[in-house]
Amino acid sequence: MRVLFTPNNARQHLYPMVPLAWACRAAGHEVRIAAAPVLANAMRAVGLPAVVVGSDVAPPAVTFQGLTQRFYAHERFPPDWPLAVHLLSDDQRDLLEYLGRNAARVARATVDDMVAFARVWRPDVVVYDVAGFAGAVTAAVIGVPSVRHLTGYGLRPMENRYAPGVSLPLPEYAALFRRFGVDVRPMPTMTVDPSPPSLRIAVPGPWQEMRYVPYNGPGVVPDWLAEWLGRTRRRVCVTWGHGVDRTMMALGMAALDPLRDTIAALGRSDVDLVIATTSAQLALLGELPSNARPAVSVPLQYLLPYCDLIVHQAGDGTALTAAACGVPQLAITNKPDQALTSDRLAAIGAGLHLRYQELSRDPLREEVIRSAAGKLLSAGRHRQAAHRLRRQIERQPSPADVVASLEAVA
């Protein structure tokens, strides 16, 4: 069997697909990963054959700065809003529809090359990222099954092939299929979902659950982690992911304010801090507190087994990695998809959720962050809930088990 994996053009879309891609390769199948040039280095680091297709497009933070700023200042969305789109305001609907149009814009830059490659290589099945439309179009053009790969709970509504509450696809999405003279495929052949039951939303059509196996990129386990073994002081990981770099294109240095506030708040707590970051972010943070240690480009799955708490922006990969490690989570969000995941974590007791649009206006915000972190560190019920969530994940079928489902589809 030949399997073509097509992530969207960011690491946080590539990484969740890697365990299944490697499982296919380990089972003896041929695998290719195809994406835009911006992902070339990350694809090579995965260790599987990579195909660079199309061209990069400027992220919306650059091309639509005003709208991006509005997106980060949005009014609070209703809880579980994908299940209740009738409760959305006109402004919220506009924002979600914009995300679908932007995804189509990104797909246009890669779909021609991706289809051309697929016509030559002839995959038996195309596994496409939930936010990437080019893979779905490619499967339709060459007439093979398509498998939609979700990244978690929060990002799922961002697929947005349709305007909220409307059954017809967005014109920009339909145009991608018409470009090649094929009918729009309204649904994938199958959906693969790495969300545990407590963080899951029902999806229509054939569906396959899969255990979330953390992959946050290649790296080396730091020697100093061994120093933490046997220490009694609590350890807190703080990270804001790769996405904040794009946010800075629209918001400037203000994009780092939640991270700075968190470091300042916990820098005066009796904890050991590890700041999981990139070299570019670290250079902008200035002097760190005496209880903080930077971990530059160290994958989260190496750090979290040594930590008692993580504070983060609630990207799906970060949240599910922490869940797989059984670590309680303090989420500080400013996007509606992040809030979805965070509300679910809070509802099952595995975390707490602070919304930065409200927190930023509070002169005592550092105390609020410090208090929330203290509650998660001291209340045993949060640790127990995080451990229950980890056990849910461990009971799910592994990526190796899911390969058989791809074989059946193909």
Q: Is it the case that residue 169 has pLDDT exceeding 90?
A: no
Q: Is it the case that residue 22 has pLDDT exceeding 70?
A: yes
CATH number of the 2-215+396-409 domain = 3.40.50.2000
Mean pLDDT value across the chain = 89
- Rounded to an integer, what distance in angstroms lies between the CA atom of residue 239 and that of residue 183? 43
Q: Is it the case that residue 65 has pLDDT exceeding 60?
A: no
What percent of the chain is predicted at pLDDT more than 90? Answer: 61
Q: Give residue 98's pLDDT band: very low, low, confident or very high (50, 70, 90).
A: confident
Q: Give residue 243's pLDDT band: very low, low, confident or very high (50, 70, 90).
A: low
Q: Is it the case that residue 252 has pLDDT exceeding 90?
A: no
Q: Give residue 180's pLDDT band: very low, low, confident or very high (50, 70, 90).
A: very high
Predicted pLDDT at 5:
98
- Rounded to an integer, what distance in angstroms lies between the CA atom of residue 23 and that of residue 26? 5
- Rounded to an integer, what distance in angstroms lies between the CA atom of residue 37 and that of residue 52? 6
Predicted pLDDT at 112:
98
The more confident residue out of 30 and 218 is 30
Predicted pLDDT at 60:
61
Q: Give residue 234's pLDDT band: very low, low, confident or very high (50, 70, 90).
A: very high
Q: Is it the case that residue 149 has pLDDT exceeding 90?
A: yes
The more confident residue out of 139 and 185 is 139
> 24: which residues sit within 8 A by CB, 6+ positions away?
1, 3, 31, 403, 406
> 63: which residues sit within 8 A by CB, 6+ positions away?
none
Q: Give residue 383's pLDDT band: very low, low, confident or very high (50, 70, 90).
A: very high
Q: Do 2-215+396-409 and 223-394 fold alike per CATH?
A: yes
- Rounded to an integer, what distance in angstroms lies between the CA atom of residue 269 and that of residue 271? 6
Window from 61-75, 83-97, 318-332 with minimum mean pLDDT? 61-75
Domain limits, the chain = 2-215+396-409, 223-394
Say if residues 183 and 140 touch (Cβ distance below 8 Å): yes
Closest CA to 117 of 35, 16, 15, 18: 35
Say if residues 125 and 1 touch (Cβ distance below 8 Å): yes
Predicted pLDDT at 246:
58
Fold of 223-394: Rossmann fold (3.40.50)
Tell me what the mean pLDDT of segment 42-49 comes to.
Answer: 96
> 341: which residues sit within 8 A by CB, 6+ positions away?
152, 153, 154, 199, 314, 316, 319, 331
Q: Which of 101-105, 125-129, 170-174, 376-380 has the highest mean pLDDT?
A: 125-129
Predicted pLDDT at 130:
87
pTM: predicted TM-score of the whole model, two decimal places: 0.93
Beta strands in 8-90 (DSSP E): 30-35, 50-52
Q: Is it the case that residue 63 has pLDDT exceeding 70?
A: no
Predicted pLDDT at 257:
85
Q: Which helix (H) or strand (E) holds 357?
A: helix 356-359
Place of tokens 């990244």: 151
Q: Which of 94-98, 182-186, 319-323 has the highest mean pLDDT?
A: 319-323
- Residues 270-299 pLDDT 10s: 999 999 998 888 888 889 999 999 999 899
> 263: which residues sit within 8 A by CB, 6+ positions away?
238, 273, 275, 285, 288, 289, 292
Output the CA torsion sign for 86, 90, 96, 98.
positive
